[in-house]
Structure 1
Amino acid sequence: MTEITGKRKAITTSKGVENFSVPAGKKKARLTVSNSGYGGLALEARIEREAKRWIYRYRDADKTVEQQLGSYPQMGLAEARKAHREAAELLRQGIDPRKHRKAEKARNQTAWTMDDAFERWIEFYASAPARSGKAPTARTVAKQRGRWRLYLKEPLGGAYVRDMTRRYLIEVLEKVSTRTREEGRQCLTLLRQLLDYCEDREQIQDNPAAGLKPAKIKARPGKPRERHLNLAEIKVLWESINEKQRVVEGVASSVVLSSSVANAIKLLMLTGARRAEVASMQWSEVKKETWTIPAERTKSGREHRIHLSALARSILTEQRRFSSSEFVFESNRSPGRPIHYDTVTSAVAKLQGRNRKEHDPSAPLYHLDHFTVHDLRRSVATMWTETFMADPLLVDAMLAHAPPKLLGTYNKSKRYQMQADVWERWGQAVSEAAEAEPQGNIVFLGAR
């Protein structure tokens, strides 16, 4: 196969391409286009067509072959020269450019874009068992979808998986980390898993995110938080909640805390449970003094039991007046639905005057060192250990942390009784500190 070169004066500039036209009395015309030593490129114009065509002419054995590279003005001179050089290099290697283009087109039709890959992967991810042996919760899957939509879809979604490079992934993830380091780390983990999935299905030869560390994308883990409230601060928080909880016929004023949100924060402090577990608590999960959180609602994917102290049970008794649905902490704005866990976070920030960019020094807890909802969980764990001398492994079990394998040999029934004792004593301590006496006539809180 050899290239065919023209003899007439070639087109050399974009202006020449623009001005080239069919001479009077002719139906079509073709003129050679120069391309730095590569021959065979021409521009063709026809009377019946508005667009001009880029043609590459070469010999295959004893016949002349033509390949259309593109149309002008959609493909400019620079793009046409580039496409011509690539075709000419294939020809020099003994590869027919036309067959190569067909093969490339077929390859593109079976190649995944990153959007395609994510949709396939998230379906696999949602049903694949994690280390715990169970599939991720619906909430975890929703978070992954949210990360893709917020941070990764725009820069990556339309690109082919096979075109992903380590350099470009670092660039994208650095931008995410600039906004939030934690989400930068989470997006890195997502891409590692997604591209591993693509590698296993031969959409990419090697995972470019493999071995990529958070420090490379400026998402080095920050110093672990150590903030925890002492009992005096718990007392101030409890009193502030009571002051802000003004209820009129079960509906709170817009300037204070609703009964559901206020009582949810109190139950967080009494149980050490996670905010999402408390926010979506259901009456059917409560049997007398025990709250059993089903596996599908826990982070660990294992069922978790929590003993409800006398003070905790009195809060639920009060909450019965405000909930007419299956959810303990029913939303005022969306009857029949639970409060959202982010509402709890916003409420705690509001009490500190930190719920907006401009802080409010008049907020009741503004004078305290800043703390978050998760710091409340750390606070109760710290006091269980330091005040009641509870064993750290016992406290980990109360927080639903994954237990060491050796712990499986212990008497689990006996250990739960020990946990229940700590929860009861903690409820009494909070009750005394905040002068929050449990209400009398505590009723059975099982499903209606």
Structure 2
Amino acid sequence: MDQNRVEHDLLGEIRLSSNDLFGIHTARASENFRLGGESLRQFPALLTALAQVKSAAAWANVKLGVLPEEIGNAIMAAAAEVAAGDLHEHFPLDVVQGGGGTSTNMNMNEVLATRATELLATAPATTPDVRVDPHDHVNRSQSTNDVMPTALNIAVLTTAQATVRSLRVVAESLRRQAARYRSLDRLGRTCLQDAVPVSAGLVHDGQASAVLSAARLLESAAGELRGVPLGATAIGTGLGAPPGYAAPALERLAEETGLALEPAANLSDGIASLEALASVADAMARGGRVLARVASDLRLLSSGPVGGMAEVRLPPMQAGSSIMPGKVNPVIPELVMQVSFQLEGGAHTVHLACAAGELEVTPWGPVVTAELLRGLRRLERVALLFATRCLDGMAWNEDAVRDNLRGSLREAVESAVEHGHAYAVTHFPLEPSPVTDPNHPAGTP
């Protein structure tokens, strides 16, 4: 049965449901930041990373003797549940909030404290009636200043790794199309005008190369996030942490995450600057642009099927009109292009947040969290959709390709090159212009 409990803080008291694991700070923040947007529970990578930070901190605190072992073990057990995807319903806060992420940190502290207290109450051979405190126990040796940037770096790094893998799936799909159509010559176009023949395979090779370059850039940018400021506590001073805390906490965190983490090159800069995350945002936007360029070209080449180029056939996904029978739209390329627009907007938001930082700590981490984790996830998903629901099933319409190639500049260019007159062919029209220049009578070059 749902029962109530009362919690107090410096502003007064609030009545909470006993079914909720969060406490008074989270309850107040839920009212203050009620945007109706995405809640923390919709960012599992962040909750997992933050729980892992809390677990590593508890382990180091026990090791250094500043936290009772039974309490530390209970905190680690509760954190493992959150990291495994449990208890996420107890994180109701909107991810974008004031206070630089303090409320997110406290939401985690309160949930872990309540759950750890429950675990202790049911565990044999423990001190009776032990209450785990969100501040004194779960947040021991920490500050929002250092744990939130650390958790954000880890969340973005792990999310970006999945995005990189998806981009490589796109590149592999394009490589297969390149091998399939290596010998198919098509009419190349510049400025949407007929140019010279080019192999369809060569085109797909170029597209694959561009996607791989974007994947490598994203991987490199995300790799810079391995340097984390754990142990910096309040504004990089290490205030409240015992001597020797940072090294074992970071070592344990690396074990928990499976990442090759290392101390930030400078702890003060590690909590005051978001520039490393801005580089990830740039790479994310580039990945979207590269996919959008491929999607845009396929959308144009598949136009028709009667009044357009009709050189490419895309797999039909759904009916394209509520009134015109038989119409099929290039919905997947259009999805890819729209996601790229969103990614550009997200990257711009990250840039603004980076530029607005001031003095010792930037409070704009929450909006960076939202834009990067959302954007990377969208890029990952749209890349997989592009590969599996468009690129893998596309085909060149070889009849249309040959019809368009026939009567193009090909024969004229080949003849001119053979006779050493390539300059004349490329700089003058092959036929008289319909507009007569009085200085150049019709029929003269």
Which fold has the larger relative contact order, with Cα–Cα distance below 8 Å and residues 6 or more apart in sequence?
A: 2
TM-score band w.r.t. shorter chain: under 0.3
Higher helix share: 2
Larger Rg: 1
TM (norm. structure 1) is: 0.23
